[in-house]
Structure 1
Amino acid sequence: MQTWTRRVPAPRHRRAPALASAYLLLGGLYLTMIVLSGAALVTDVSAYDETAELARFAFGVFGLAAAVRAARQPALPGRLRQAWGAVAASFAVLVTSAPLLLFFDRDGTSVAADITHVIFVVALLIALQRFPLAPMNRRDRLKTVLDALIVLVGGTTVLWYTSVDSALVYSIADLALLFVAARALLRGADESAQRPLLLLTAGALVLFVGDAVHGYLDGHGLTTQTSWQFVCWITADALLAAAAVEQLRSRCGVAREPRQGLPIGRFLPFTAVAVAHLLMLAAAVQEGEFSPWGGLALGGAALSALVLYRQALVQRESDEQARTDGLTGLANRSRFRVASHRSLARNASTGILVIDMNGFKEINDTLGHKSGDLVLIAFAEVLRRCVSSPGLPARLGGDEFAVVLPEINHPEEAYEVAGRIAAALGPVAVDGRLITLAASIGVAVSGPGELTHDELVHRADLAMYRAKALGPDTRWAIWQESLEPDALLSKAS
């Protein structure tokens, strides 16, 4: 078969330099405001409030522009555009409230700051509610809600310890935001907004921490002019603005595979339980009653840690089973897709081999399904020997197998793997009988940014059918344009 060696360079996106500049501007703005506020806090405390509000106003303008632009992207789903519209509304509140607070609430005695902050949180809450999340079955959705409730209880413990004397509406809004953010992190987003959702939920969690610091200071009659509170709030603003920029950048890249749950989300329930026990221990020490309350807090923390660790082991085993073929121990179709999408999303050259065993139906019909299973296991062992890491062999179902070769340097690397598999196939002893393993192998390679997963698998399928048409012996073929149905029709006419 003719070797396909055409390399397609990664596509150049005109908006990429502009978006990179936006990130640089955002980072520079963040560092500048942190330095200015720190200087004001040290040299002129009376100017601290003005500097803090100026910083939030600057981030409000930046975030409003980015969120409005994201909300007007026609390529985004309607629900996602609505989410960015709500984010834009939260930044609009920030832009309008900062001047009002500077000129009409200079002494900080009115409730205007609390009202505008609650409106900001509610708008962000609506935005997170509108984000399109990854699809899940009913049981997984219930597990996600339960984990989010664990985070909510932990957050309630934090606010009870820090902000028990603060406004009730303030705390309820924060807790609602915490629950929705935890649920979004635990469930994950679809391919249109994975990284933007991660940044947005991170901003929401940092905002919650800032509000807890504010509540603690306010509830204990301490000064609110502290760098901790300001750093939390301005970091939250920066993360929200970065989320909007990332949403614009995501439209320039390769589509990603929908992901159930973001990596950081799995640690949230454990963190919530740990924080709750630490606060109980801190309260016991603070009140001078370590015995018995401190010992009870430590015992409860130890029991919770053991139970959660056991749960993590069970979950890891369950996840491994969900990604592995039960008969052969190879990766299953789901894990194969994830590995392929991950490589393509990194704008790397990726190779796919689609492999169909020859004569497997006759083996099943004549020797029985038990012998057929042993043949599949023997074939899987050949793939393991021939495919080195980071390549991933997988069983797609029945007698159909596949291999994903992520981040290869040249198409010839994929051809060499196909050649090794073909050379390794031959007679094997199965249940006291000598059976010859044979297969048809199709190979396709995507240059950086060239193809999607489905397009790449389709090309490998066409090459596999071409190899199967050459006879029952083991053969492998490389995709070429003449194998496409349109090309075959044009040739026939």
Structure 2
Amino acid sequence: MHTWTNRVPPSRASYRALGLLYAVTTAALLAVDAGGGDEEWIAETARFGFGVFGMLAALRAARLPDLPARLRRAWTAVAGCFGVLVLSVPVLCVLNLSGLNPGDAKTADDVIHVIFVVALLIALQLFPLAKMRPRDRAKNVLDAMTVLVGGSLVLWYTAVDPMIHSGHDFTDGFVSAVLYPIGDLALLFTVARALLRGADDSARRPLQLLTAGTLVLFAGDAVNGYLNAHGITVSASWQFYWWITSDALLAAAAVEQSRPARRAGFTHRPGFRIGRCLPYLAVMVAPGLMLYSAIAERHFSPWGGLAIGGAALSALVLSRQTLVQRESDELALIDGLTGLANRSRFRETSHRGLHRDARAGLHSAVLVIDMNSFKEINDTFGHQAGDAVLVELADVLRRCVPSPGLPARLGGDEFAVTLSGLASPRQAYETAGRIAAALGPVAVDGRLITLAASIGVAVSAPGELHHDELVHRADLAMYKAKALGPETRWAVWQESLEAAAGKPEVAA
């Protein structure tokens, strides 16, 4: 059967090469800038190197057969983005050698930058993001729009409005004055959607690096717009630092995706934690800029006080909304009767643990627990007593499952436990033994009822199994344990179960 597994951690040689190139370039820029020399050729050479590095890695990622087709297309587009970067260097060199005047050379540089931004925007749009229901997609778009408006306010305050008041002719430098902000805002919206929505495991970490590089590019363009709008002349080195940092992060994303792979786990993951904070930070942009402007212009009254009040009100409303959202999220992930995690949270936690343990070289495990004779308890003592028995079993699991393990109720009388960060499979067996030993007679409405359950244990070596296969193996082991009788038993899945006559190791 065709399955996905996690990627194998490769050699860090590529990352070291990238880090070395970045460190050497930064040191060279600092040295040349301190000596008053021309640092442009150093930065352009470094950008050419990052472009070649990233293009080769992106092309390699686009040819990986284990990646989904859409993700391979996305990395083909990223390779084209790096191709623009590679070609820009010789093009600019030819233009400079041809005796082009500085103004036209600056326009050519701006046009190439816009083409690079458009190529990056197209590539980001192609990345597969986490699946969402229509209502959740609408919320994701609204949150991204909130971030977009916040970014628009920043660009308006730092670049556009000062340029209008300075009497600057927008036809002079139209690309940097108009197209830069439009392209940056389009990138910001796309990145915000990716950060808020999340991605599947096959693209999660590369997309994080891509978004980081994009945000650095946005910040650099915002600072550049501010300096141009205010007529501030500084050394060109600072802009080169922004560019090479962005290029290095984008190249690192391509290297991350081009890692050699075993069959990879293709599972959707929720949005990145930092992304969830973006809408709240965006809401605080307007009062923050108002307060900064009032202080900078030494006219604190009345705008400074209004800005502080607006910021305080926004913080209070957002804090309340956060608490309500957290409560709603918890209710959606918790079983109402027992207070344990529900099936959705169990699955999400298991996926996260398997992914983390695969990278750390640790084992993961799942225990499937099914109560014995639960129907007889319901028929004899009533459903209220049956519910009380389920609550008692949930309390046993809370006491016996060590952190960061997560006990969950999957439905009815079926429970499960996910264990992660295990140094050896024995830790999972010990947990199953503790649960089995803790089960016994309990008092329910003045009557003694014996808690008994069948427990199946399945362990995954680092990167060996995905969630569904691990649960399936634990299910097989649980049925083997249940076949031994009504008493509490636990069984371990073994390779011998693949054969019809195979039997798991069983312990009382």
Match of 2:409 in 1: 395
Question: Alpha carbons of 1:122 and 1:220: their partners in 2 closer, same or farther (altered >3 Å)?
Answer: same
Deviates more, 1:407-416 or 1:467-476: 407-416
Q: CA RMSD in A?
A: 2.2
1:198 to 202, 208, 213: 208
Q: Does 1:470 align with 2:465?
A: no
Instruction: Tell me the alpha carbon deviations over residues 449-487 of structure 1, each in whole angstroms, 9 at most, x when there is no partner.
Output: 332222222221111101111111111112223333655
- Which runs of structure 2 are paired with 1:31-180 in the superposition (5 Å)? 31-45=23-37, 47-105=38-96, 108-110=102-104, 111-164=107-160, 165=163, 166-180=176-190
Question: Alpha carbons of 1:243 and 1:291: their partners in 2 closer, same or farther (altered >3 Å)?
Answer: same
1:108 & 1:63 partners in 2: Cα distance?
Answer: 30
Q: For the Cα contact (< 8 Å) 2:6–2:262, is it kept in 1?
A: no
Instruction: Tell me the alpha carbon deviations over residues 91-115 of structure 1, each in whole angstroms, 9 at most, x when there is no partner.
Output: 1111111222234257641211111
Which consecutive unaligned segments of at least 5 residues does structure 2 have? 164-175, 504-508
Match of 1:316 in 2: 326
1:50 & 1:396 partners in 2: Cα distance?
Answer: 62
2:330 & 2:109 partners in 1: Cα distance?
Answer: 49
- Which runs of structure 2 are paired with 1:276-287 in the superposition (5 Å)? 276-287=286-297
Question: Alpha carbons of 1:259 and 1:297: their partners in 2 closer, same or farther (altered >3 Å)?
Answer: same
2:461 & 2:270 partners in 1: Cα distance?
Answer: 28
1:376 & 1:417 partners in 2: Cα distance?
Answer: 19
Q: For the Cα contact (< 8 Å) 1:273–1:304, is it kept in 2?
A: yes
Q: For the Cα contact (< 8 Å) 2:7–2:264, is it kept in 1?
A: no
3-state secondary structure, aligned to 1:462? helix
1:236 & 1:196 partners in 2: Cα distance?
Answer: 14
Q: Specify the code of the residue in structure 2 equivalent to 1:355.
A: I
Which consecutive unaligned segments of at least 5 residues does structure 1 have? 1-9
Match of 1:351 in 2: 365
Instruction: Tell me the alpha carbon deviations over residues 22-56 of structure 1, each in whole angstroms, 9 at most, x when there is no partner.
Output: 100001111111111122222124x1222222222
1:458 & 1:214 partners in 2: Cα distance?
Answer: 56
Q: For the Cα contact (< 8 Å) 2:55–2:83, is it kept in 1?
A: yes
Q: Specify the code of the residue in structure 2 equivalent to 1:384.
A: R
Q: For the Cα contact (< 8 Å) 2:343–2:409, is it kept in 1?
A: yes
Deviates more, 1:139-148 or 1:216-225: 216-225
Instruction: Quote how far apart the aligned CAs of 1:199 are.
Output: 0.6
1:108 & 1:325 partners in 2: Cα distance?
Answer: 68
TM-score of the superposed pair, with normalisation by structure 2: 0.88
Match of 2:169 in 1: none
1:80 & 1:188 partners in 2: Cα distance?
Answer: 14
1:421 to 419, 435, 438: 435
Aligned residues: 476
Question: Alpha carbons of 1:80 and 1:224: their partners in 2 closer, same or farther (altered >3 Å)?
Answer: farther
Q: For the Cα contact (< 8 Å) 1:336–1:392, is it kept in 2?
A: yes
3-state secondary structure, aligned to 1:190? coil
Instruction: Quote how far apart the aligned CAs of 1:70 are.
Output: 1.3
Instruction: Quote how far apart the aligned CAs of 1:284 are.
Output: 2.4
Question: Alpha carbons of 1:12 and 1:186: their partners in 2 closer, same or farther (altered >3 Å)?
Answer: closer
Match of 1:23 in 2: 15
Q: Specify the code of the residue in structure 2 equivalent to 1:92.
A: G
3-state secondary structure, aligned to 2:486? coil
Determine what percentage of the aligned residue pairs are the same residue: 66
Instruction: Tell me the alpha carbon deviations over residues 370-415 of structure 1, each in whole angstroms, 9 at most, x when there is no partner.
Output: 2221111011011111212222211111110111221222322222
- Which runs of structure 2 are paired with 1:282-321 in the superposition (5 Å)? 282-321=292-331
Instruction: Quote how far apart the aligned CAs of 1:65 are.
Output: 1.3
1:42 & 1:445 partners in 2: Cα distance?
Answer: 58
Deviates more, 1:433-442 or 1:149-158: 433-442
